[in-house]
Homo-oligomer: A and B are copies of this chain.
Amino acid sequence: MSVLTTEPDAVPGGEEPPDTGERHRLTAVTGLAALSLDAMASVAYGPEAIVLVLAGAGARGLGFTLPVTLAIAALLAVLVASYRQVIAAFPDGGGAYAVARAHPGARTGLVAAASLVLDYVLNNVAVAVTAGVAALTSAFPGLYGDRLWLCLAVLALITGVNLRGIVESARAFIVPTAVFVGAIFVLIAVGLFRDHPVSTASAAGHASVVADNATTVGTLLLLKAFASGCAALTGVEAIANAVPSFRVPRTRRAQRAEIALGAVLGLMLIGLSVLIGRFHLQPVAGVTVLAQLADAALGHNAAFYVIQFATMILLALSANTSFGGLPVLLKLLARDDHAPHVFALKADRQVHRHGVLALAVVSAALLVFSGGDTNTLVPMFAIGVFVGFTIAQIGMVRHWRAERGRGWRGKALLNGGGALLTGVAAVVVTASKFTEGAWLIVLALPALVAAFEAVRRAYGRIDERLGLGLLPRAPHRERSLVIVPVSALSRLTSEALSAAASLGDEVRAVSVCAPDPEDRVRARAFARSWRDWDPGVELVRLTPERHGLGRPIAAYVRTVAAAEPGTRVTVLIPEAEPERLWQRLLQNQRGAIVAHAVRRETDAVICRLRLRL
């Protein structure tokens, strides 16, 4: 799921200048390889999702694997045709959010955005990581018991790489995607020449999850299998988002890549489901369907391990794309005032880090919630995907109706049919999985939309109060009084008074004396040494009744500001900054305490002077 993920050569935080030359852009073939990562990777869990639902109706149910897969392939064809039209209509990219914003309107755009955020945040990372680890534990069953820890370790690795701030380029995905797709096609081709499985080594000794008493295969079961299997369609929209990254003629090349993507993905899905039927594959706990197919077609040898590793690496990379994609989506939302503006700031590594960490924490929670099991997460994942698809297609129908170009009815019909199919799938998967986690999505989606709208309203009010868009009144000079909290004579005090003298028309030093005899002695000695030093600055001694540093100073500032209207009061806080980082722990935080109190209780400007030691 990566509607906004794989803009090629996009960098987290966008540090790259945008004027990259044409020759760095993508052709249809490199574009396909670079942008199809998510779609191809979903082959690892899509067929499995179908088989697991059908297994609920025993061996007879499993017989419906191929028909269900053909239905999904048909939907894939509709989606590809539909996104071919999206590419033509929105050559600037932008995906479901852009389409929905342009046509059904702002709120629908927000629903699309919310479904995307949920997919990034809730599921994309978690699904890809669990599926990747499932590929690994299928090869090494001894690790199955530790799969949750493995998932968390993979997540930690991806998070670490993203915190370092990699220069992420879609080009880096070309080789692993090609290796994986090549391996799957070899698997299918060789498998079609076999009449019986070469090996069932990996499934041996695992408990079958096929129901014993073959019940009748009802429509609802088939719909559920269809809806679950549609998880394999994620990533179909990636090319449509990244049209600007293609070489001219961009639209043509992107459309060709999109069709190729559909063809390759469809062939893989159909091929795998033919093999599932031919080998009478029985899903078992702990070994993926893809691993069993690799066994059956190629034997339990080096080829089997190559496929498991390729799958794992591709899925890990697919998880990684979320870390790139979410910031891009949040940036778009922030520009429209729907998300905190901080997400629209470019090149601030700190901000990017917050996003990465937040995504990692939520993903880790989901991993723990699911116990590291892909099939718990796939239905939740699918809901968001379908909502996005449906909205994009409805948007396209409106688009054609508004344009009324040549043959618009046919195009609108195509998109409308797609919307209907994906909409039905969304409803089916939500209803059938409601108690198993789908309720979370049903609650979170409207909550997110409401939050986006509340943020927008809040920005409106803030802009109004700031008088944004109007010419503000001219600045004017006032008398300046600088207050400097002091507690000892040192180079720092001298430096602070010099700065204060430069900034203010009048300077006052204040010192706080705590209400205990010990501190009164100290304060008297300090006042004496102040007189000896004689810096030409008045020392105000505050003697509050209770212990505390920040409040007495803030109260003094308030009093002074009230007594002298027309005077701008500034508090200058001197702080020594030791050389080494650990020594900064030794600082007494007086500065921070005073700054906090003054900030909270007064309107004074706060200056902080740091003296490097």
A547: B residues at CB distance < 8 A: 13-15, 346-347
A578 to B535, CA, bound (A): 40
- Does residue A77 face the partner (Cβ distance < 8 Å to B)? no
A458: B residues at CB distance < 8 A: 578, 583, 586
Contact B607 A607 (CB under 8 A): yes
Contact A537 B490 (CB under 8 A): no
A537: B residues at CB distance < 8 A: 475
Q: How many copies does the complex hold?
A: 2
- Does residue A606 face the partner (Cβ distance < 8 Å to B)? yes
Which residues of A from 129 to 158 have beta carbons under 8 Å from B?
Answer: none
Contact A488 B502 (CB under 8 A): no
The interface size of chain A toward B, counting residues with CB under 8 Å, comes to 91
A514: B residues at CB distance < 8 A: 346
Partner of A613 from B462, B489, B498, B500 at Cβ < 8 Å: B462
- Does residue A410 face the partner (Cβ distance < 8 Å to B)? no
Contact A593 B341 (CB under 8 A): no
Contact B18 A586 (CB under 8 A): no
A350: B residues at CB distance < 8 A: 593, 596
The proximity string for A residues 335-378 relative to B, scoring 1 for CB distances below 8 Å and 0 otherwise, is 00000111011111011000000000000000000000000000
A403: B residues at CB distance < 8 A: none
A609 to B571, CA, bound (A): 11
A347 to B552, CA, bound (A): 12
CB distance from A287 to the nearest CB of B (A): 34
A interface vs B, CB < 8 Å?
Answer: 13-15, 17-18, 340-342, 344-348, 350-351, 455, 458-459, 462, 465-468, 470-480, 488-495, 497-504, 514-517, 529, 532-537, 545-550, 568, 570, 572, 576, 578, 583, 585-590, 593, 596, 599, 603, 605-610, 612-613
* Given contact pairs A341-B586, A466-B576, A475-B535, a sample of 11 additional A-B residue pairs in the complex whose CB atoms are under 8 Å apart: A15-B546, A18-B516, A340-B588, A342-B587, A345-B593, A350-B593, A466-B613, A468-B488, A471-B489, A476-B498, A477-B501
